[in-house]
């Protein structure tokens, strides 16, 4: 089934892996042709302009304008083509389709945990629906890891204290390899897993049996918002309390006391919970208790999921 790969590349199994490969082979063939041309030119010049006798003095060489211009313009055009094409593919690889299925990935020495929208956390293997965009929101509990699925041509560092994300769409139901590609300690090379892409119906069935039935992150987050008395200082209806309201916060541009402004994304919200003094919202005192920095990551994830719903 599908492309079985080539000498250089493993099989190609995501909606974008074909484009990554096409770009790779473009640069590959350009390099190959230039390598060949340079090698032939070296051999030709070495013979053509060899020293013929002890007394021979070569004539002065005049500069060849055309040749010099060509050697500037031609490589510049090649580089711009590769850059433009590469940038387009880079954007596609980095911007997940809005309707992507979201999974929280938590890396730690030395395993991957996958958190599903219904609250299920599953360790080791990543089950996903095939032929559907899947966005992974990733963070690490300890050191730097990196999430790599060669058959999808995606690789993204997974970092403590911030979220990174990556997305893919498996182009068929099959099993693919996950590697950690950042040296993360003694068992780094054993930090493996499988992506198990299933047809949607089978995926739903798997998820229902995987120990779900917990609260959704949004509902859990709403409960935590009350339990941690976040609501004492932050309204959810736009009214002003001690701190800024949560209504319409996610995705907005936030003016800071420092005069800068930031996008209120997952990283901003997380930062505001664990290290509130670093980015103070303009017009509000720095009164957020630092104790929330010790909330477990899954609770911070749930709070962010809840705040996202307040639009
Ligand atoms: Cu985790 Cu290497």
pLDDT value, residue 210: 63
- For the chain, how big is the Rg over CA atoms in Å? 27
Q: What is the pTM of this model?
A: 0.65
Cα–Cα distance, 124 to 127 (Å, whole number): 10
Whether ligand 1 lies within 6 angstroms of the CB of 308 is answered as no
Is a pLDDT exceeding 90 seen at residue 230? Answer: no
Please say whether the beta carbons of 154 and 168 come within 8 A.
yes
Whether ligand 1 lies within 6 angstroms of the CB of 182 is answered as yes
Q: How far is the centre of ligand 1, averaged over its atoms, from the C-alpha of 125 (Å)?
A: 15
Query: Measured from the CA of 107, which atom of ligand 1 is nearest?
Result: 1
Whether ligand 1 lies within 6 angstroms of the CB of 188 is answered as yes
Q: How far is the centre of ligand 1, averaged over its atoms, from the C-alpha of 267 (Å)?
A: 22
How far apart are the two ends of the chain, measured CA to CA in Å? 44
Token pair in block for residue 248: 């319409």
pLDDT value, residue 8: 82
pLDDT digit string, tens, across residues 98-129: 889 999 999 988 888 888 887 777 777 899 99
Whether ligand 1 lies within 6 angstroms of the CB of 191 is answered as yes
Whether ligand 1 lies within 6 angstroms of the CB of 145 is answered as yes
Token pair in block for residue 196: 């198990």
Look at the block and give the residue holding tokens 């199994």. Answer: 13
β-pairing, 134-140 with 101-108?
A: parallel
**Positive or negative torsion for Cα 234, 238, 244, 249:** positive
Confidence of residue 214 (pLDDT cuts 50, 70, 90): low
Q: How far is the centre of ligand 1, averaged over its atoms, from the C-alpha of 97 (Å)?
A: 28
Look at the block and give the residue holding tokens 């039935």. Answer: 213
Whether ligand 1 lies within 6 angstroms of the CB of 162 is answered as no
Percent of the chain with pLDDT over 90: 47
- Report in angstroms the alpha-carbon separations of 308 from 217, 248, 249, 268, 288: 11, 8, 8, 12, 20
């Amino acid at each position: 089934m599908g492309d079985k790969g080539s000498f250089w590349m493993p099989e190609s199994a995501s909606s974008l892996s074909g484009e990554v490969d096409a770009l790779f082979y473009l640069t590959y063939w350009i390099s190959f042709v230039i390598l060949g041309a340079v090698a032939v030119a070296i051999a030709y010049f070495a013979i053509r302009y060899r020293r013929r006798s002890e007394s021979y003095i070569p004539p002065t060489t005049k500069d060849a304008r055309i040749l010099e211009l060509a050697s500037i313009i031609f490589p510049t055009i090649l580089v711009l083509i590769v850059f433009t094409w590469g940038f387009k593919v880079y954007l596609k690889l980095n911007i997940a389709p809005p309707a992507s299925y979201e999974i929280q990935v938590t890396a730690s020495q030395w395993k991957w945990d996958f958190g599903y929208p219904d609250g299920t956390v599953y360790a080791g293997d990543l089950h996903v629906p095939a032929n559907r965009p899947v966005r992974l929101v990733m963070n690490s509990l300890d050191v730097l890891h990196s999430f790599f699925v060669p058959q999808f041509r995606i690789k993204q560092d997974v970092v403590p204290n911030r979220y990174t994300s990556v997305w893919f769409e498996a182009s068929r139901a099959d099993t693919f390899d996950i590697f950690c590609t950042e040296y993360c300690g003694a068992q780094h090379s054993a930090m493996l897993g499988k992506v198990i892409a299933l047809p949607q119906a089978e995926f739903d069935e798997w998820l229902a049996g995987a120990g779900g039935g917990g609260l959704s992150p949004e509902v859990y987050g709403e409960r935590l918002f009350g339990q941690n008395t976040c609501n004492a200082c932050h309204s959810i209806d736009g009214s002003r309390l001690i701190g800024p309201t949560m209504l319409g916060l996610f995705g907005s541009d936030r003016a800071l006391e420092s005069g800068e402004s930031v996008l209120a994304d997952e990283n901003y919200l997380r930062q505001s919970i664990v290290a509130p003094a670093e980015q103070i919202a303009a017009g509000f005192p720095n009164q957020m208790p630092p104790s929330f920095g010790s909330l477990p990551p899954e609770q911070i994830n749930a709070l962010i999921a809840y705040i996202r719903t307040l639009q």
